[in-house]
């Protein structure tokens, strides 16, 4: 019990350290002292900041990017944990309900058809696409859509439909250049990070994560079984409808910020559950912290390993995620 | 708390699972539901538990229709153990038992020392002292059954609805469980297969066949050699015991 309770402070400290160290890493050679000076100057403390170019690298490029990575990682991990409990399916991830496919379609439509301009239009398109996909999955699943088996199947079908639409738009309209940026989007990337993006993701993500955390006892009960949850006083239809909607909106916000970054939402909950146990009151915040740390370092690797060339961060999370998954499977195989 | 079913119908498509079933469990009584496979015992329990809606009739808790009561308020007074508790949940025994405290805790409140204390007391009571950290999925069927009943009791219910609670239990624990239930000041409605146990421990028996009540009353009234032969198709010797109870020795297939 004490080991599990120590998990949160330890992970919190790791997150703080990760943010600070990660901001110092990059092509431009800036040390911890430079970073701290920049933070202090922007906080209004009476210190002399860095020259404008360096200041901008730390404050406008790296800091929002590291923070966005943390927020997206946290959100994805919480989404995954909630959906795994709700559907009692260990393979559930944040994109279960067709969100990522829908978001890609939305983003690609904006890119290729030239609707609006810039990162804002792209994010808006992705969000709209994600929400449209969720709505389509709910419609497809019909009146009893909150039953896990129905929404799972509908989600798979919807994802296929929207992937097909994305391909159709790309093949029909795109130039090689836009195809490349579309691919980057599909694999996930935090290059579009900015302070407004951080603020938006943090506020929307914060509300959604708090809502899930408040529902922790319901998640405990549903992870055990829906009949038992019902006899403990929860309405399966209402609880599931609410939490499916919250996680779908959260996933749409995250995909709009960073594209579809795979594996974080699938693996982090499994790994964290081994450390904290399966009670969601502790599991969810631990997942948020672990997901944040993981994605911060995955993105740091993505932007530095082949610098100045950048890797899509989804490639890094997959390269890290598959061996981690294999290890978890192997371990759980031995345990039983 | 008194539990009643009034003229309950339950159908799936064209199949009738329950037809106009009526049941009355007075406060503190132990009522056994008996009947062959497919007679509607589990369906009736699910309707009583609010897991399935009746297509006709209603379920009353004391004098109130259960659908008119808030779910959480019901969960504080009625606990249920179904026949198919999940087996694969990745949880410890303590996590499973703590579920039973959910109805008594404000939704945002953390698990308190009192909850943890009650869980270990419940494990002691179930003869599973110190099993908090065992994995639920690693337990045997009988152990799981005992934990599930302990979880139901942690709800501090006035009513316990149990679907074949003695299933998987060894002989000693069958007797212990039914003796405990009969003694407890809780209204118990349990689907049972063991006629002899039911005859010894239940205050009332409801005998079901093909979704209908064939007979209801004290064990001595309901469990006769004729009714057993007719409903179950086996021959039996029924020996009267004290207070309307009976002992039953099954002999052979009825001819």
Angle subtended by helix axes A148-173 and A99-113, to nearest 10: 20
Pairing of strands B30-34, B204-209: parallel
Domain-embedded: residue A13:
yes
Domain-embedded: residue A335:
no
Residue B93, domain extent: 78-156
Asked whether residue A126 carries a pLDDT value surpassing 50, the answer given is yes
Structure-model confidence comparison of residues B217 and A149, the more confident one? B217
Of A220, A273, A277, the CB nearest to B99: A220
- Tell me, rounded to whole angstroms, the distance of Cα B67 from its chain centroid: 20
Residues with Cβ within 8 Å of B106's Cβ and at least 6 positions away in sequence, in order, are none
The minimum CA-CA distance between B2 and chain A, rounded to whole Å, is: 18
Q: Into how many domains does chain A fold?
A: 1
Q: What is the pLDDT of residue A310?
A: 85
Interface test with B, best of A232, A275, A333 (most B CBs within 10 A): A232
d(CA B18, CA B10): 5
Interface test with A, best of B66, B107, B117, B119 (most A CBs within 10 A): B107
Give chain A positions within 8 Å (CB) of B77.
none
Domain-embedded: residue B56:
no
Domain-embedded: residue B136:
yes
Give chain B positions within 8 Å (CB) of A281.
110-111
Domain-embedded: residue A216:
yes
Taking only the tens place, the pLDDT of each residue in A14-41 is 999 999 889 888 877 788 888 888 888 9
Give me the residue label for tokens 């999925």. B137
What is the value of ipTM here, to two decimals? 0.91
Scored b (16 or more CB within 10 A) or e, A142-158 reads eeebbbbebbbebbeeb
Cβ-based interface (< 8 Å): residues of A facing B: 88, 214, 217-218, 220-221, 223-225, 227-228, 230-235, 273, 277-279, 281, 336
Range with top average pLDDT, A147-161, A174-188, A277-291, B178-192: A277-291
The β-bridge partners of A162 are none
Flag whether residue B103 sits within 8 Å of chain A, measured between CB atoms. yes
Q: pLDDT band for A119, please (50, 70, 90 cuts).
A: low
Contact A224 B105 (CB under 8 A): no
Q: What is the pLDDT of residue A125?
A: 86
For A231, the closest chain B residue by CA position comes to B75
Domain-embedded: residue B47:
no
Domain-embedded: residue A222:
yes
Contact A231 B107 (CB under 8 A): no
The minimum CA-CA distance between B239 and chain A, rounded to whole Å, is: 38
Q: What is the pLDDT of residue A336?
A: 45
Give chain B positions within 8 Å (CB) of A228.
80, 82, 85-86, 99
Asked whether residue A184 carries a pLDDT value surpassing 60, the answer given is yes
Interface test with A, best of B71, B109, B159 (most A CBs within 10 A): B71
The minimum CA-CA distance between A328 and chain B, rounded to whole Å, is: 14
Of A221, A223, A278, the CB nearest to B102: A221
Flag whether residue B85 sits within 8 Å of chain A, measured between CB atoms. yes
The minimum CA-CA distance between A221 and chain B, rounded to whole Å, is: 6
For A221, the closest chain B residue by CA position comes to B99
Of B96, B102, B107, the CB nearest to A214: B107
Residue A282, domain extent: 2-330
Asked if residue B123 lies in contact with residue B129, where contact means CB atoms within 8 angstroms, the answer is yes
Q: What is the pLDDT of residue A333?
A: 61
Pairing of strands B3-12, B56-61: antiparallel
For the segment A118-147, the average pLDDT, to the nearest whole number, is 86
Nearest to A92 by CA among A158, A152, A142: A152
Flag whether residue B139 sits within 8 Å of chain A, measured between CB atoms. no
Taking only the tens place, the pLDDT of each residue in A260-313 is 898 899 999 998 998 888 899 999 999 999 999 999 999 999 999 887 888 889
Flag whether residue B92 sits within 8 Å of chain A, measured between CB atoms. yes
Flag whether residue B91 sits within 8 Å of chain A, measured between CB atoms. yes
Report the C-alpha dihedral over residues A230, B27, B167, B8, rounded to 10 degrees.
Answer: -60
Contact A281 B79 (CB under 8 A): no
For A213, the closest chain B residue by CA position comes to B108
Structure-model confidence comparison of residues B118 and A110, the more confident one? B118
Contact A224 B91 (CB under 8 A): yes
d(CA A148, CA A225): 12
For the segment A181-198, the average pLDDT, to the nearest whole number, is 83
Q: Which two tokens stand for residue B109?
A: 């409140």
Of B76, B85, B98, the CB nearest to A225: B85
Q: pLDDT band for A54, please (50, 70, 90 cuts).
A: confident
Of A224, A233, A235, the CB nearest to B96: A224
Q: pLDDT band for A1, please (50, 70, 90 cuts).
A: very low
Mean pLDDT, each 10-residue run in order, chain B (255 residues): 95 93 95 94 95 94 93 95 82 94 90 91 88 90 91 94 90 87 90 92 95 95 93 92 90 74
Count of A-B CB contacts under 8 Å: 75
Give chain B positions within 8 Å (CB) of A3.
none
Give me the residue label for tokens 């609006």. A116
Q: pLDDT band for A133, please (50, 70, 90 cuts).
A: very high
Q: Into how many domains does chain B fold?
A: 1
Of B72, B82, B95, the CB nearest to A277: B95
Contact B51 A231 (CB under 8 A): yes
Asked if residue A277 lies in contact with residue A7, where contact means CB atoms within 8 angstroms, the answer is no
The β-bridge partners of B10 are B18
Pairing of strands B246-253, B234-240: antiparallel
Share of chain A above pLDDT 70, in %: 96
Taking only the tens place, the pLDDT of each residue in A225-249 is 899 999 999 999 899 999 999 998 8
Largest CA distance in chain B: 62
Share of chain A above pLDDT 90, in %: 38
Interface test with B, best of A2, A231, A270 (most B CBs within 10 A): A231
CATH number of the domain residue A283 falls in: 1.10.3470.10
Flag whether residue B112 sits within 8 Å of chain A, measured between CB atoms. no
Asked if residue B82 lies in contact with residue B163, where contact means CB atoms within 8 angstroms, the answer is yes
Residues with Cβ within 8 Å of A202's Cβ and at least 6 positions away in sequence, in order, are A67, A71
Interface test with A, best of B69, B99, B116 (most A CBs within 10 A): B99
């Amino acid at each position: 019990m004490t080991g599990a309770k120590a998990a949160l402070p330890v992970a919190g400290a790791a997150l703080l350290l990760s943010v600070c160290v990660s901001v110092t890493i990059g092509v431009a050679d800036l040390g911890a002292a430079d970073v701290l000076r920049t933070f202090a100057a922007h906080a209004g403390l009476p210190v002399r900041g860095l020259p404008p170019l360096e200041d901008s690298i730390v404050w406008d490029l790296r800091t929002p990017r590291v923070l966005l990575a943390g927020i997206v990682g946290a959100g994805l991990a919480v989404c995954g944990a909630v959906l795994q409990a709700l559907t009692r399916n260990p393979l559930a991830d944040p994109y279960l309900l067709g969100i990522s496919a829908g978001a890609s379609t939305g983003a690609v439509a904006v890119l290729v058809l030239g609707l609006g301009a810039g990162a804002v239009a792209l994010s808006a398109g992705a969000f709209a696409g994600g929400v449209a996909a969720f709505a389509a999955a709910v419609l497809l699943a019909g009146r009893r859509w909150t039953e896990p088996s129905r929404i799972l199947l509908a989600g798979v079908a919807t994802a296929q439909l929207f992937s097909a639409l994305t391909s159709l738009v790309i093949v029909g309209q795109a130039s090689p250049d836009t195809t490349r940026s579309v691919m980057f989007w599909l694999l996930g990337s935090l290059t579009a990070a900015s302070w407004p993006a951080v603020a938006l993701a943090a506020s929307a993500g914060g509300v959604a994560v708090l809502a899930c955390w408040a529902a922790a006892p319901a998640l405990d009960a549903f992870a055990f079984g829906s009949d038992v949850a019902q006899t403990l006083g929860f309405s399966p239809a209402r609880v599931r409808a609410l939490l499916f909607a919250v996680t779908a909106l959260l996933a749409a916000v995250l995909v709009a910020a960073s594209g579809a970054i795979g594996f974080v939402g699938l693996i982090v909950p499994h790994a964290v559950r081994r450390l904290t146990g399966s009670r969601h009151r502790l599991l969810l915040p631990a997942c948020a912290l672990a997901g944040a740390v993981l994605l911060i370092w995955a993105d740091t690797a993505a932007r530095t390993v082949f610098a100045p060339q950048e890797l899509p961060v989804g490639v890094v999370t997959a390269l890290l995620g598959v061996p981690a998954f294999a290890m978890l499977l192997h371990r759980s195989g031995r345990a039983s | 708390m008194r539990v009643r079913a009034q003229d309950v119908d339950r159908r799936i498509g064209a199949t009738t699972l329950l037809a106009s079933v009526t049941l009355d469990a007075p406060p503190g009584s132990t009522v056994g539901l008996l009947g062959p496979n497919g007679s509607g015992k589990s369906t009736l329990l699910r309707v009583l538990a609010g897991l399935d809606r009746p297509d006709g009739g209603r379920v009353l808790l004391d004098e109130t229709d259960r659908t008119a009561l808030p779910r959480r308020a019901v969960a504080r007074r009625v606990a249920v153990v179904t026949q198919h508790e999940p087996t694969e949940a990745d949880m410890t025994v303590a996590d499973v038992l703590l579920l039973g405290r959910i109805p008594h805790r404000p939704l945002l409140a953390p698990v308190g020392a009192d909850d943890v204390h009650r869980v270990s007391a419940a494990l002691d009571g179930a003869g599973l002292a110190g099993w908090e950290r065992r994995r639920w999925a690693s337990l045997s069927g009988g152990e799981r059954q005992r934990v599930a009943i302990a979880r139901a009791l942690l709800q501090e219910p006035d009513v316990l609805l149990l679907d074949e609670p003695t299933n998987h239990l060894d002989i000693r624990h069958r007797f212990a469980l039914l003796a405990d239930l009969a003694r407890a000041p809780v209204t118990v409605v349990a689907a049972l297969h063991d006629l002899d146990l039911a005859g010894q421990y239940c205050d009332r028996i409801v005998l079901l066949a093909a979704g209908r009540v064939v007979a209801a009353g004290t064990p001595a009234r309901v469990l006769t050699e004729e009714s057993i032969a007719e409903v179950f198709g086996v021959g039996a010797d029924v020996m009267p015991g004290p207070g309307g109870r009976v002992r039953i020795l099954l002999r052979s297939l009825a001819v």
